[in-house]
Chains A and B, each alone.
Chain A
Amino acid sequence: MKQENNKAHKFGMVIDLDKCTGCGSCMVSCMSENNVPFKEDESNKKDSITWMRVYKLTNGKSFPDTEIVYLPRPCQHCGGKGDHGHSPCISVCPATATDYGYDTGIVSQIYTRCFGCRYCMGACPYHARYFNWWDPKWPEGMEKYLSPNVSPRMRGVVEKCSFCYHRYQAARDTAYYEGRDDIEEHEYQTACTTACPAGAIVFGDLNNPFHKVHQIVKPDPHPDTRNKHVIGKSRNPKVFRLLERLGTNPKIYYLSEREWVRKQGDNYLDGEWDEIKNHHGSSSHG
C-alpha cells in the first residue's frame, strides 16, 4: 500500500500545564466524542470511565505560596522499552486485544476481542485503562447522539483513549479521495486538542519536524545516555514525561516553566531530582 512506503508516523501530544486551567473541557469532549458511558454516580471512581482525566497537583505549600496545577492524563500510548512497541499493556494481553500500530505509534484496543481479564489495567503505570463493570446506559433518546464512528463497549471489556483514531481514519479517507498520499497536520486532531479553550494541548506527528508538537518537544532521536531504554527524551528543558525512567516511552509530553511541576513526573528519592533536573535529551552525544 502507498501509505506504508512513507516514513511511519508517531503521533503524540504535548500538554502545557502552565496553560491548563483545569476546566475539564477535554474530559467532556472526549466522553462525547468516544461514546464513553457515564454512570449514575460519576464520583464513584471505581466505576466511572474517563479516557481523559484531569489530576490536580499542588506544591504542598501553605498560603500564600500555594500553587495548583492541573494535569490532563489520556492514554500515554507507550512505545515500550527502546520504543519497539512492547508497551506494558500490549505485552501482557493474552487475547491480542491491544496492539501497537507501527505505522502510527498508537496503542489500539479492540473491544470485541477483549475478554476482560484486566491484566493490561494492572500493567499500565498510568491508570489509563478502564473496565466496564456494567453495560452502558444512556438516557432515552440520547443514544441517537452517539457517534457512529466509535463502537460502543459492552459490559466486561477494557477501554481506553485511542487518540481519536476514527478521526485519523476519516482524514485518510479524505486524502485518498483527493488523491493525496498523506494527511495534513490540521486534518487529524484529537477531540481534547480541539476542545481545549486554553490551547494547552498540541497534537501532531512527533516524527515530522514541521509539526508543532515536534518543534516544542524536540525529541532526541538517540537513546538516553542515562538509560538506553528511553527513546525520544525531550531536548526542551521544560518538557518532561510521566515516569520517564521506566522506559515506557510515552507519547504524551508535559510542559511547564515551574520546576516543582516537572518534579511531579516521578517519585524521586532524596537528592535524585537534583541529578536529573538538568539532564535533558541531546543528539550531540547520544
Chain B
Amino acid sequence: MSETENKTENGSMESAGECTAGDTKDDKGLGLGVIFFIVAFVVCFLSGTLLFPKLLYSKKEQPFNFDHALHVSEAGDCESCHSLREDGSFLGIPKLATCLDCHAEDPMGETEDEAVFVEEYVSKEKEIPWYVYSRQPDCVFFSHAAHTEANGMDCVTCHGHIGESTSLKPYEENKITGYSRDIWGKNIFGIKKHSWDRMKMDDCAACHKKETGHKGYCFQCHK
C-alpha cells in the first residue's frame, strides 16, 4: 500500500473515532490528553523561565567585593571615581592609580576584600580585572558627556541605585552573545519596571524619542 493511501485510511479512521465520541472510553482518553497537555505546558514553561536563563548565562564572581555605599560616603559622589576626562570622554571604571589616590600600601579597613585588593593588586601593581555590568556591545557609542553634562541627567536613571549597594552581584554573561545580562535585563521576558532595568537599543531609542522627539540617526549611537 502506498503512503498516501495509508494516510487516507488513518484519516478516515480518526474521523470515524470522532463520530463515536460519546463513548465513555474515548472521554477518558480526552481527559488524559488534557492532563498531559497541562503537565507538558508546566514543564516547558518552568524549564523555559527557570532553567533556560541558567543555561544561557554563565556566572562569574568579581575579583573581590566592592562596597559602593562605603566609598560614596567616604569619597563623595559617583564622579569622584567615575569621572569624565578633560576631553569629555568617560573614564569608566577607574584604574588602580585612582584607587591609590586614597589607598596606600597598608589596608585602610579590616575587610577580607581589602586584604585581597592590597595583596593581589596594589603590591603587585596589577590592574583589577573587573567585569563591567553595563558594558555595551562594541558597535555602540555612548557619550556620557552628552547625557550628564549637556542634558543634566543623573547616573541613577540608567545605572540604578548601585551607589547604595554594599556588595557586588555576580556578573552574568550571555553565553551566545558574550554581553552582560544587564543589557537584556534580569527579567527573562524583558519586562521593565525601572528605567535602569534594561539597556537595549530599544530602551535608548524610546527615551530619545520621548526627550528629543526623535529616535536619532544610526550614527548618533553607533560607531
Mark contacts of A147-182 with chain B using CB atoms, 8 A cut-off: 1 yes-contact digit, 0 otherwise.
001111000000000100110011011111111000
Complex partner residue of B218 from A99, A166, A174, CB under 8 angstroms: A99
| A162: chain B residues within 8 A (beta carbon) | 219
Interface-side segment among A41-49, A104-112, A137-145, A268-276? A104-112
Judge whether B143 is part of the interface by a CB distance below 8 angstroms: yes
Interface residues of B in 54-104 (CB under 8 A from A): 84, 86-89
Query: How distant is B147 from chain A, measured CB to nearest CB, in Å?
Result: 9
Judge whether A100 is part of the interface by a CB distance below 8 angstroms: yes
Query: How distant is B176 from chain A, measured CB to nearest CB, in Å?
Result: 14
- Most-contacted residue by chain A among B145, B149, B217 (CB, 10 A): B217
Query: How distant is B220 from chain A, measured CB to nearest CB, in Å?
Result: 8
Judge whether A286 is part of the interface by a CB distance below 8 angstroms: no
| A169: chain B residues within 8 A (beta carbon) | 141, 143, 223
Q: Is the CB of A174 within 8 A of B87?
A: yes
Q: Is the CB of A102 within 8 A of B217?
A: yes
Majority-rule SS of A interface residues: loop
Q: Is the CB of A177 within 8 A of B145?
A: yes
Query: How distant is A267 from chain B, measured CB to nearest CB, in Å?
Result: 33
| B145: chain A residues within 8 A (beta carbon) | 172-174, 176-177
Bound complex: CA A166 to CA B222 (Å): 9
Given known contacts A165-B219, A177-B87, A177-B145, is B150 in contact with A110 (CB within 8 Å)? no
Judge whether B170 is part of the interface by a CB distance below 8 angstroms: no
Complex partner residue of A1 from B86, B138, B141, B151, CB under 8 angstroms: B151
In the complex, the chain A residue whose C-beta lies closest to that of B138 is A151
Q: How many residues of A contact B (CB 8 A)?
A: 35
Query: How distant is A58 from chain B, measured CB to nearest CB, in Å?
Result: 37
Q: Is the CB of B214 within 8 A of A4?
A: yes
Q: Is the CB of A170 within 8 A of B214?
A: no
Q: Is the CB of A176 within 8 A of B143?
A: yes
Judge whether B212 is part of the interface by a CB distance below 8 angstroms: yes
Bound complex: CA A3 to CA B143 (Å): 14
Query: How distant is B153 from chain A, measured CB to nearest CB, in Å?
Result: 12
Judge whether B1 is part of the interface by a CB distance below 8 angstroms: no
| B214: chain A residues within 8 A (beta carbon) | 4
Query: How distant is B157 from chain A, measured CB to nearest CB, in Å?
Result: 16
Bound complex: CA A146 to CA B145 (Å): 24
Complex partner residue of A106 from B87, B138, B211, B219, CB under 8 angstroms: B219
Q: Is the CB of A151 within 8 A of B139?
A: yes
In the complex, the chain A residue whose C-beta lies closest to that of B145 is A176
Q: Is the CB of A173 within 8 A of B218?
A: no
Given known contacts A99-B218, A104-B219, A169-B223, is B150 in contact with A2 (CB within 8 Å)? yes
Q: Is the CB of B88 within 8 A of A177?
A: yes
Bound complex: CA A4 to CA B149 (Å): 16
In the complex, the chain B residue whose C-beta lies closest to that of A163 is B219
Mark contacts of A90-128 with chain B using CB atoms, 8 A cut-off: 1 yes-contact digit, 0 otherwise.
000000101111111010101111000000000000000
